[in-house]
């Protein structure tokens, strides 16, 4: 157990968790909707501090982050738990844990040891990912501080539900984030994830204000968010609120967890989504989860030449120099070195 950050005492030994935008009211002995923060006698504790359920060394492109240190390696880590309950979660076995799994699952991995492993693997960043980094905030916070001291960057792969106060606190340590913008419908957000569209939009505005590099991912689910109007709304928000240089990743769905009856996303849908994003003014729209060649590569917005050639998570060739197109000298938005 580790005493939590961002909570307030309430009468009768109740507490309010203020870490994420659900702001759970938790009675004594109860847990928040993330399953991993518990009220013990009027104090809130994290039950997963220093206890990882997954670790790996991934290409940064797998996050996906295409404009953040491309071609580099990212030490990736997670604990059990999530504050969303997505019906299509590909990591539901660890994001939706039983109480027993919260108590016994995973393995001890202190922050200092994790950072040393990242250094030993030659990683340029640590990605807090696979489940939801918000719910293991204290663990990520301590690891991020140690990583920064060793010259390693920090990345959140997140559903965008961190509270403004928590995000503001970690912003000096957080270099980039890939944020899911899953739908542009309150109804879909509520029914499929348990969250709220407006809260995610507000969170994205906070990321922008704090100056954290952000890339957006939308998993295109047939029959849910693949309509032209909804895709235009998502692309329009990204362009107008976050900037036309913000990368938008449109990725293919495959049946999983509680959405086994929903078909896979056809390649033509991703191509159409990419065209819609470009039509709304976005300079960089990427197709993911399906090998597409052109839809995975980066093109200079000025001369339109291919400056980064990708295949899947592999960077095949780069014609970038100090964040600029190697052909015409145009600067591209991103973090390049």
**In this predicted structure, what is the pLDDT of residue 317?**
95
The CATH number of whichever domain residue 268 belongs to comes to: 3.20.20.70
User: Which residue blocks in the chain are alpha helix, DSSP H?
Assistant: 92-95, 99-104, 111-120, 137-149, 164-170, 186-188, 197-210, 228-237, 267-279
**In this predicted structure, what is the pLDDT of residue 219?**
98
For residues 27 and 20, give the distance between their C-alpha atoms in angstroms, rounded to a whole number.
17
Residues 55, 94, single domain; the answer is: yes
Residues 215, 333, single domain; the answer is: no
Percent of the chain with pLDDT over 90: 96
For residues 177 and 198, give the distance between their C-alpha atoms in angstroms, rounded to a whole number.
19
For 183-204, the pLDDT digits (tens) are: 999 999 999 999 999 999 999 9
Residues 114, 186, single domain; the answer is: yes
For residue 200, the SS3 value is: helix
For residues 316 and 262, give the distance between their C-alpha atoms in angstroms, rounded to a whole number.
33
pLDDT(312) > 90: no
pLDDT(121) > 90: yes
**In this predicted structure, what is the pLDDT of residue 291?**
73
Max CA distance (Å), the chain: 66
**In this predicted structure, what is the pLDDT of residue 154?**
98
For residue 34, the SS3 value is: coil
Residues 58, 178, single domain; the answer is: yes
For 292-307, the pLDDT digits (tens) are: 668 999 999 999 999 9
Residues 63, 15, single domain; the answer is: no
Domain containing 37: what range?
2-46
């Amino acid at each position: 157990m580790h005493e939590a950050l961002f909570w307030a005492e309430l009468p009768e030994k109740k507490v309010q968790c203020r870490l994420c935008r659900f702001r759970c009211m938790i009675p004594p002995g109860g847990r928040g909707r993330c399953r991993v923060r518990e009220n013990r006698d009027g104090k809130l504790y994290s039950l997963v501090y220093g206890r990882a359920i997954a670790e790996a060394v991934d290409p940064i492109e797998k996050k996906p982050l295409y404009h953040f240190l491309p071609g580099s390696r990212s030490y990736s880590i997670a604990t059990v738990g999530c504050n969303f309950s997505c019906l299509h979660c590909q990591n539901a076995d660890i994001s939706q844990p039983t109480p027993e799994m919260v108590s016994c699952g995973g393995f001890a991995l202190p922050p200092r040891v994790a950072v040393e492993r990242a250094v030993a693997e030659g990683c340029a960043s640590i990605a807090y990912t696979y489940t939801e980094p918000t719910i293991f905030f204290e663990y990520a916070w301590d690891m991020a501080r140690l990583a920064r001291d060793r010259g390693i960057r920090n990345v959140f792969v997140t559903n965008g539900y961190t509270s403004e106060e928590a995000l503001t606190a970690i912003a000096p340590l957080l270099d980039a984030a890939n944020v899911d913008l899953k739908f542009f419908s309150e109804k879909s957000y509520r029914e499929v994830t348990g969250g709220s569209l407006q809260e995610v939009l507000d969170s994205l505005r906070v990321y922008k204000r704090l100056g954290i590099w952000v890339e957006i991912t939308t998993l295109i689910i047939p029959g849910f968010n693949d309509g032209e109007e909804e895709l235009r709304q998502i692309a329009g928000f990204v362009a107008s609120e976050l900037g036309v240089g913000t990368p938008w990743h449109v990725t293919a769905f495959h049946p999983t967890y509680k959405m086994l009856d929903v078909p896979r996303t056809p390649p033509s849908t991703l191509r159409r989504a990419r065209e819609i994003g470009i039509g709304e003014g976005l300079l960089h729209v990427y197709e993911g989860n399906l090998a597409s060649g052109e839809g995975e590569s980066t093109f200079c917005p000025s001369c339109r030449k291919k400056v980064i050639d990708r295949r899947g998570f592999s960077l095949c060739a780069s014609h970038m120099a100090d964040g600029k197109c190697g052909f015409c000298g145009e600067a591209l938005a991103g973090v390049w070195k």
